[in-house]
Structure 1
């Protein structure tokens, strides 16, 4: 077993244990491997080990990486459509001038924090592609330096965005204020889950599609899962420590 396989297996074991502790099924939590700043070679190692969903923050890096991965898979005679179904998630800040390539290249966007961005993504999503899955990013801890809409603004934004034709609003994404205090971790993740339940109640015609809580990373994913996370975004536990890159 490769080192990458061992790391992925260890993360899956942790996910399953956290889910089981609160009587959730082992498949109720999806693992998003955060591959930002790591090269196509590392992504290919993860693909070989069975991982299919990858999260990227930096647009230019991500598009180049996607192309390199596709070329490598084609060279190995593996069709990314028929044989290996990869799912790319954009999880970084979104500037208006970058919405078109995001709409054209990704299956998911976790970081929608303004209606204007959602409108642009909807308008620019190619017709031949399925609707773009999106999450509204919530600044659940109210940090001045952190992206995301205020919890009080989520319902109004959701009412508008859920009607956009080329998008599929799936739920919420949150990055709570970092803390080692598990009580505070639980409180922030619980608040996010309650917010999603409020959306489901307020938008009953769309409640079934509002099924996603993207929350929890390498350091706090156990608590996030205990509070209802359906996607955990894990990078360092899979790929190792990263060096921040400049630009996007």
Structure 2
């Protein structure tokens, strides 16, 4: 059975291979280790293997881990799950990034509740690129308005787009979705100075996502193993 360190090494090798095949710079894709439902001991094992970026889906679980590992000051914590308005304060106080912003109300609350002693909160707009009713995220038509609004909030920095494409698409559907994401990303990457992140791609679609310009892939099971059941 592989260790977390060995799985991380494999994931980085796969990212490097896909990046090279896409004729992109070797350091142009970051690995976000998705640690939801996993114990702190697993995060420490990944940290000791060199991993620094961790993603959490559940607010209270994530905050508990941030607090328990606060002595590891160089960890970068990303909230990648949906946020209810009554949870924005603890998210704004504990996380470095929020990738799942898709409502004006949430953006404004994160801005207003970000502590003054911390740097501005990095955020991505979650885009429901395939217009799936079962998924969170803003649609393409509303993206420009929310981007403009976030740009005007002083305690937030708009860093890019996060998306979860349709599961099990055909090759044509996958390419169309990823191409559409890349087109939107390129448009704002050109016009906004801090807009540098396209967070798309997981274990099953990582290579195609990197080919279509992803700058951050979110990998969980391939690093930490099958998820534990949770009610968080």
Q: Which band: TM-score by shorter chain?
A: over 0.9
Candidates 185, 195, 201, aligned match of 1:210: 195
Task: Please give the secondary structure, in 2, of the residue aligned with 1:233.
Answer: strand
Candidates 216, 228, 231, aligned match of 1:243: 228
1:157-215 alpha-carbon deviations (Å, 9 max, x no partner): 111111100000011010011015333222211111111222345xx3xx221111000
Shift of residue 69 of structure 1?
2.5
What is the aligned partner in structure 2 of residue 228 from structure 1? 213
Structure 2 distance, partners of 1:13, 1:197, is 26
Shift of residue 115 of structure 1?
1.1
Matches within 5 A, 1:170-185: 170-179=159-168, 181-185=170-174
Structure 2: stretches of 5+ with no match in the other structure: none
Does residue 88 of structure 2 align to residue 110 of structure 1? no
Instruction: Judge conservation of contact 1:173–1:214 (CA < 8 Å) in 2.
Output: yes
Does residue 154 of structure 2 align to residue 169 of structure 1? no
Quote the RMSD (CA, aligned, Å).
1.3
Task: Please give the secondary structure, in 1, of the residue aligned with 2:11.
Answer: helix
Instruction: Judge conservation of contact 1:43–1:69 (CA < 8 Å) in 2.
Output: no
Aligned residues: 231
Structure 2 distance, partners of 1:197, 1:180, is 23
Candidates 77, 83, 88, aligned match of 1:99: 88
Structure 2 distance, partners of 1:26, 1:127, is 36
Instruction: Judge conservation of contact 1:182–1:223 (CA < 8 Å) in 2.
Output: no
Q: 1:244 to 1:191 in 2, by over 3 A?
A: farther
Q: TM-score, normalised by structure 2?
A: 0.96
Q: TM-score, normalised by structure 1?
A: 0.90
What is the aligned partner in structure 2 of residue 192 from structure 1? 181
Shift of residue 64 of structure 1?
1.4
